[in-house]
Structure 1
Amino acid sequence: MGSAVGLCSSPRAWGCDWNIARLLCFAAISWVLMTQMEVGAWTYHYGDKSDYSWEVARNFCRSFYTDLVAIQNQREIAYLNSVLPHHRTYYWIGIRKINNVWTWVGTSKALTKEAENWASREPNNKGRNQDCVEMYIKRDNDAGRWNDERCQKKKRALCYQASCQSSSCSQRGDCVETIGNYTCDCYPGFYGLECEHVVRCKNLDPGPDCSHPLGEYSYNSTCKFLCQEGFELQGLDTLQCLESGNWTAEAPECAAVKCPALAAPGRGGLNCTHWHGDFTYNSSCAFSCETGFVRNGSETLECTALGQWTGLPPLCEAIKCPMLDSLSRGQLNCSHWHGDFMYNSTCSFSCETGFVRIGSETLECTALGQWTGSPPLCEALKCPVLATPGRGQLNCTNWHGDFTYNSTCAFSCETGFVRNGSETLECTALGQWTGHPPHCEAVKCPVLDSPDRGQLNCTHRHGDFTYNSTCAFSCETGFVRNGSETLECTALGQWTGHPPRCEAVKCPVLDSPGRGQLKCTHWHGDFTYNSTCAFSCETGFVRNGSEMLECTALGQWSDHPPLCEAVMCPGLAAPGRGRLNCTHWYGDFAYNSTCAFSCETGFVRNGSETVECTALGQWTGSPPLCEVMRCPKLRGLEPILMNCSHPLGSFSYGSVCRFRCTQGYFLNGTSRVRCQPDAHWSDKMPTCQEEAAPYFKQVLLYMGGGAVALVALLLTGMLIALLIKRLSDKEEEKTLLNPTSDLGVTGVFTNATFDSNL
């Protein structure tokens, strides 16, 4: 009891105030009055003299024992209820509500269903703050059960002395107290009564770099894998031995690094060499282009160890011809199949009204990058030469040469004379003037007004709208004059023509493109200045050209009308030993094209029979393969000998097998069979039967010379028949062994070699 007295001399050691320390010291001094219950190495201790609050009771237990009792199962509860004496205030046990969870304070573990033993309708937190637990010992009702209580209440302390030590369970598991002993709950990867054994995994083949902290190929061993340059791991690069005795995954393998798959460029070809698989490390691919196209990029690419090609795939670009310009006073209309002014582009030339073409109408860009000729010229048409009228003057404006298309000639008269006839003549696109030359006469004219969407500009020499007065008409941008540009007051008092109107410039009427639609907005009349037209295409077709056109002030659309062209799919070719039959509705391998595949005799299709080009430019499936038909394998066992040739593969269509027997046996059945297109042999395999010669020898001994002659005759006939059959078989063999003239024939005898005399 010296230790108890020592604690009382220093109450601060309890971590509580003086009054609590006095109570604890009293309890320590009363140690001799405590009752002990010892069960093996784990013992229970309780006080029978004083009651404490829960905290003081716990400090008491922790000072002299391990802690307030921690109950693990119902058996332990029954034991405590049977051995402890009844006390009116009952006993504190080592469980408390922490963060709203009932927790064993001695082990810091949450209460389990196995150990739970609440009294009826408990815990109820009656009066609140009931965070500690008492145990009813030998109570009339609910004996051995628990009740939640306020921690400040005074009750007896129920302590326990633990049997687990720091070295228990090899420090590889949790030490679990039991009545009179303890058990080890081993950590993952360990087993045994004291967790002394380590789980092992199977050994790995030599090669990986491994570390074994707990023993060779044991729990927590790690192995790392590496591959040579150009190869990469298929699987995890690091494996670890798990608690189950299994590795985290199967050992990985080294596979060649893959580069992105390459495809032949448009208008070109692709030829590849693969050493470790399609488009893998060290694969090399060469590119070529069709006639009229030139390669833009590297000729050859190689797959590197990084899974990248040594460069970008090249393009096959059409050869370019010199760019052509529109003609002066003419138009240029080109069709470009492979890009502007590229190979196969065609350009047609036309001239404006009043001009005529001198030279070729159409030029084409050749595979040499040259046009088939020189661009033409547009020259203005000529009208007859005009003369000055009597009593008047002639004034001409020549835009394209004297008296040519669009030349205008104005006539005037002397003072006192007015013109009788047109004031102005113009050279038309037909090479004729708009009228006859006028005469000069005196005149007065009516007043003129400005046209709608136009302006009027007049010159009056002798007063408003009198003799020699001239009036010019003009229109706003996008409008053209319908009538004479200039009027002059003639000698008859009339203008040389009617005042003109300003009308919206007209563009050519547009139609919806084939497989497409047209939607227009017209501000000044159908297909006139400022009209806009939008183009769209049906599903499976794409627009080649501008989406929107606008009618300009020159009466021309802002671009050529577009076309709706079918979406293209990649070109297909017949697989080996097969045929390809396609139906193209909108062009080769275009939208809605369908292609059917079939195979030669003796071959069967592996894959789809038909594919179709979709609106996305993709086929509905991959092209199939034609695989050779195979017959059941044959085996030759003595005394039968077999020799086979396989032109298309082992025991496949066209394979021929010959048979013969070892000495002392003869062949019963056909001497050769052939694998047919239906994967069946042409006949059953023959058998070998023992010859009858020994029997004939015995007969000859008894029958004498006459019998010898008879037997010789019979044998001679059999040999002749056998020879005829053998020659016939050889002719058949030539046919069977050569189903296709360009295939090699190979054969290996089974168990023996044929006699060269047969």
Structure 2
Amino acid sequence: MRTSVVLAVFLGVVRTVHGDCDRPTGGANTELITDVTFPASDGTSVYFTCEVGYQREGGSGTVTCSGGTWSRLKMRCTIRNCGSAGEVINGRVEYSEGTDFGATARVVCNEGYIVVAFENKIFCGVNGWQGRLATCEVLKCDAPNPIADGYFSPVKEDYEHSEVITYGCEGQHKLNGSKTATCGDNGQFHPAPPKCVLVNCPEPSTMVSNSVVAGGARPPYVLQSSVTFRCAAGHRMEGQATVTCDINSKWGPALPKCNPIECKAPEVKNGEVVGAARPTYKYDETVTLKCQTGYKLNGQSTLMCKDMDQWSAALPTCIMIVCQTPVVQGGVVVGVPRPSYKHMDTVTFECISGHVLSGESTVTCSDNSQWSPKLPECTMIVCQTPVVQGGVVVGVPRPSYKHMDTVTFECISGHVLSGESTVTCSDNSQWSPKLPECTNEKAGNEGHTLKVVLSVLGVLLSLSVVGCCVYFGLLKKKKGAGKEYTGAPQDAETVALS
């Protein structure tokens, strides 16, 4: 058994060294040409050739099996290049895919020439370019068909490439289309032939509502006749005012429109329309704006809807009413003052010591950003130098005195002071208490005697009045008793005097 295993290993080694070869793979773009059955025995040779469309560039195509391995293939195959296909008179060959195997090429003729061929294409094959090159012949156009009510010139049997013909119309007909045509690359004239038409545009005055024809041509309206429209009052034009009759008997550009002028309701921040607001307003309608409480209007309050759907003036603005901190000379604000105050805020003033307030102490920030009523005034309290007849000021008198200043008087010799000798400059710029008096002593005694005399005279006058009253009382009583009065009774007079 052991002997058999050793023999098998030996035979395998011998086959590896001197055994058969499997089918060779060759190189790029190569093809094996052989009728050998594989695996091939040692010493067998096979031949490679290049694939279709490729050609050999050096090296042998034969490989040999030796010791179970094929020798290295030295042959190289490159793609076949067909090169130039030749020259074309009045044209050229276009190699858009190159000139290698499998590529195609076509003939392109010069301007004024046309390709003549069953199929304008050649193919790079195994044996070079296959197919026949097209030729280029002079391009010509046949005479075009005539047009109704028109003509063209020059008139010929055929026309060369790029040759131009000119069209025209007869009578009142107008050319609708291109006036000229050119013999093109496809043997046809281009653009398409025109038409000869009669142009007559319709009456324009009834075609645009709310408008009138303001100027322009009169009927009939032929080609290039123009008219100009104007919109009626309260309407705005949309489009071009002037239109022209075109070759198709239509006004162009498109007829305008006269749309009613409408202004959008004005929108003002912190403002509103007086009365019932509407989304839009017609031409010449007015709208009045007002500001909300605490704001004032800056600009025109009443606007009118005018042309171009615009208001007659720029929209006003509503500005917050603000009053600056009021300042009163000699006065202060009661409480803590602020840099500014809003509408209807109030401020109360009081005067500093030695000043008196005139006007309203409390003011309000009003609609015009002003304080109302007007700011009060704090006037310095000043008393004039007091004068007392027969008296002098103790010390050096001054032209005027401030609030709470005091002045003391004394009388000159022969005069007696009555009242307070010292007075004070008070709040109402008056001296308080009232100024004293300095009376002459002699004048004082004479005055006393006069007072006594006057007192006595007064008593006598009183007694006389009483006597008269008694006398007339008795007289009335006698008349009532029926007695005739003959004279004044002595007793009554005595009684009255006593």
Query: Larger strand proportion, structure 1 or 2?
Result: 2
Higher relative contact order (CA 8 A, sep 6+): 2
The verdict on a shared fold, with TM-score over 0.5 as the criterion, is no
TM-score (norm 1): 0.23
Q: Please tell me whether Structure 1 or Structure 2 has the larger radius of gyration of its CA atoms.
A: 2
